[in-house]
Amino acid sequence: MKIRFLLGSAVLAVLSFPALGSPAQGQPQVSYKNDVAPIIHDYCLNCHEPGGKGYEKSGLDMRTYQSLMQGTKFGTVIKPGDSFTSILIQLVEGRAHASIKMPFGMSGGLAKDKIEILKKWVNQGAQDN
């Protein structure tokens, strides 16, 4: 009796184990280092580091998490947890004004899936993860 019970719970534990490893509610955590930084590197950095025209005009240096969170000379561009009011997201979505859509001058703008990654990261708290 006792042995059967133990065996049963061992099988149950093994069967439910994969569920523990998968992210809650199908919302994988977006990583700054693995997901966000590569997009910035490919689409933003050449203008948003010292010497680039985005940096020279706005002061926004996107080389590190810290400098990104510092924002422009006028203030922050990311509001953790709130992609809707984050200026950076407004600009990549072209919600602010078409003439300052980011990446600046890129026809068609940033691909939808990449915008989604940035939005999710901000909504999940814009962590240095």
In the block, residue with structure tokens 């199908």? 26
47 forms part of the interface with ligand HEC (CB under 6 A): yes
Question: Is residue 53 at the binding interface for ligand HEC, with CB under 6 A as the rule?
Answer: yes
Among the candidate windows 1-9, 21-29, 102-110, 121-129, which touches ligand HEC by CB under 6 A?
102-110
Half-sphere exposure of 7 toward its Cβ, with a 13 Å CA cutoff? 4
CB of 63 to ligand HEC, least distance (A): 13
Query: Which position among 6, 11, 13, 100 is part of the footprint of ligand HEC (CB under 6 A)?
Result: 100
CA 112, CA 8: separation in Å to the nearest integer? Answer: 47
Q: Does 86 bind ligand HEC (CB under 6 A)?
A: no
Other beta carbons within 10 angstroms of residue 3's beta carbon come to 7
Of 33, 49, 55, 39, the C-alpha closest to 115 is 39
From CA 129, how far away is CA 110, in angstroms rounded?
23
Tell which one of 105, 107, 112, 113 touches ligand HEC (CB under 6 A): 105
- Among 110, 117, 122, 126, which residue sits at the site for ligand HEC (rule: CB under 6 A)? 110
What is the C-alpha to C-alpha distance for residues 51 and 93, in angstroms, rounded to an integer?
25
Residues at the interface with ligand HEC (CB under 6 A): 43-44, 47-48, 53-54, 57-58, 60, 72, 74, 77, 87-88, 91-92, 100, 102-105, 110
